[in-house]
Amino acid sequence: MASIEFSQVTQAFDKNVIIKDLNLKIEDGKFTVLVGPSGCGKTTLLRMIAGLDSQTAGSVLINGKDVTRVAPGQRGVAMVFQNYAIYPTMSVRENIEFGLKNNKVGKEERTRLVESICETVGLKPYLDRKPSTLSGGQRQRVALARAMVKKPSVFLMDEPLSNLDAKLRVQMRIELIEMHKKLGTTFVYVTHDQVEAMSMADTIVLMNHGRIQQEAAPEVVYRQPSNLFAAQFIGVPPMNIAELGVENAKFGFRPESGRLSTHRPQADYVVRGTIVTREMLGSETIYQVKTAADTFMIKCTEDLFSADQEVYVGVEASGIFFFGADENRIDPHDVRFNAYMNVLQGQRNG
């Protein structure tokens, strides 16, 4: 196992600065997920840990050791790529033991390691088959097994599930979580899919434009987003956000915090609107409600309303978030919170 630290790291290509003065500590043995939109810098961080790219300035440390001048193969890390990167002409066994052969590991030890790892990832029946005869999920397991057989202190994964169908992605997420528990190794996983991040991570590192927006456990990022970007990136559907109308502030609430009713409810924030769309998703229904000033998404566990129906949206104060002009979330203990709640109730209740 190993901890990873970025100290004042900058990465630039020509005059294009991807990451600037970034500081980050990835804890030993944790499942850390780097998440954010395309181009935010998350894969760049992963490649710097692996040694595939070098930083323009600052230091990358693994277990307290600066690895800036350490070759990729000497860092004790293994990387699993999006496209699997397995050899099509080799069998499953040959793919997995390829690195062991290069490191002059004896045949008997290679066989023991390969079969032990394949038992863990469920590949033992497929050892003599070629990758072309395997499913996408099985090929991904081959890539994982090839990384595992090196016994790395750090697993690096760059969107490894993005080429799988939706059902298989869910299955592989569960398998990766279980694998992490078994191995107890440091996992650093890159994705743009916030559902993957929320379901798998011990710690989420949310990035945008090369900067860390929030670093916390999934439930903290969801319930206490540090800023407007975090509030809107994490959550399906995303948080409802609207202008408050004073001091360039905004207010918001999660779709499940809104309650729909045909009569005006007793709630801290109430607004009237019309249902524009209805999406029945089985265990929940998502309504799009258009009010005089805004459009809100409301998530309900019961399917009680229909399109074009007039309804009230009610939200309790505990479900309301406020964001200042700097887009940072305003803490409920901040004096502005109550002031903004009074504004919201006075200006927006319909």
Q: How confident is the model at residue 348 (pLDDT cuts 50, 70, 90)?
A: low
Q: Percent of the chain having pLDDT more than 70?
A: 99
Look over the chain and give the mean of its residue pLDDT values, rounded to a whole number: 92
Task: Find tokens 């790291």 and name the residue.
Answer: 9
**Confidence bin at 169 (pLDDT 50/70/90):** confident
pLDDT greater at residue 145 or residue 230: 230
> How much is the pLDDT for 104?
83
* DSSP letter string, 145-199: HHHHTT--SEEEEESTTTTS-HHHHHHHHHHHHHHHHHH--EEEEEES-HHHHHH
Return all residues near 172 (Cβ < 8 A) that are at least 6 apart. 137, 140, 160, 161, 164
pLDDT mean over 298-323: 97
pLDDT tens for 10-44 read 999 888 899 999 999 999 999 999 999 999 999 99
- Whether 71 has a pLDDT exceeding 90, the answer reads yes
pLDDT at 150 over 90: no
- pLDDT tens figures, 175-191: 889 889 988 899 999 99
Spatial contact of 120 and 179, defined as CB atoms under 8 Å apart: yes
Q: Kindly report, residue by residue over 232-288, the tens digit of the pLDDT.
A: 999 999 999 999 999 999 999 999 999 999 999 999 999 999 999 999 999 999 999
State how far the Cα of 114 lies from the Cα of 109, in Å rounded to an integer.
9
Strand, coil or helix: 306 = coil
How high is the pLDDT of residue 211?
A: 96
- Domain(s) of CATH 2.40.50.140: residues in the chain: 244-348
* pLDDT mean over 303-307: 96
Give 345 or 270, the one with higher predicted confidence. Answer: 270
Q: What is the pLDDT of residue 136?
A: 83
User: Exposed (0-12), middle (13-18) or buried (19+): which is 42, by Cβ within 10 Å?
Assistant: buried
pLDDT of residue 56: 94
CATH topology for 4-223 is Rossmann fold (3.40.50)
Q: Which two tokens stand for residue 188?
A: 């650093």
| Residue 162: predicted pLDDT | 83
The reported pLDDT for the residue numbered 92 is: 93
Distances (CA, A) of 273 to 46, 237, 290, 322: 46, 19, 5, 22
- In this prediction, residue 85 carries a pLDDT of 79
CATH 3.40.50.300 positions along the chain are 4-223
Confidence of residue 306 (pLDDT cuts 50, 70, 90): very high
The count of C-alpha atoms lying within 13 angstroms of the C-alpha of 120, restricted to the half-sphere facing its C-beta, is: 21
The CATH-assigned architecture of domain 244-348 is Beta Barrel (2.40)
pLDDT digits (tens, 9 = 90+) for 79-119: 988 777 788 999 999 999 988 888 888 989 989 989 888 88
Axis crossing angle, helix 107-121 with helix 136-148, rounded to the nearest 10: 130
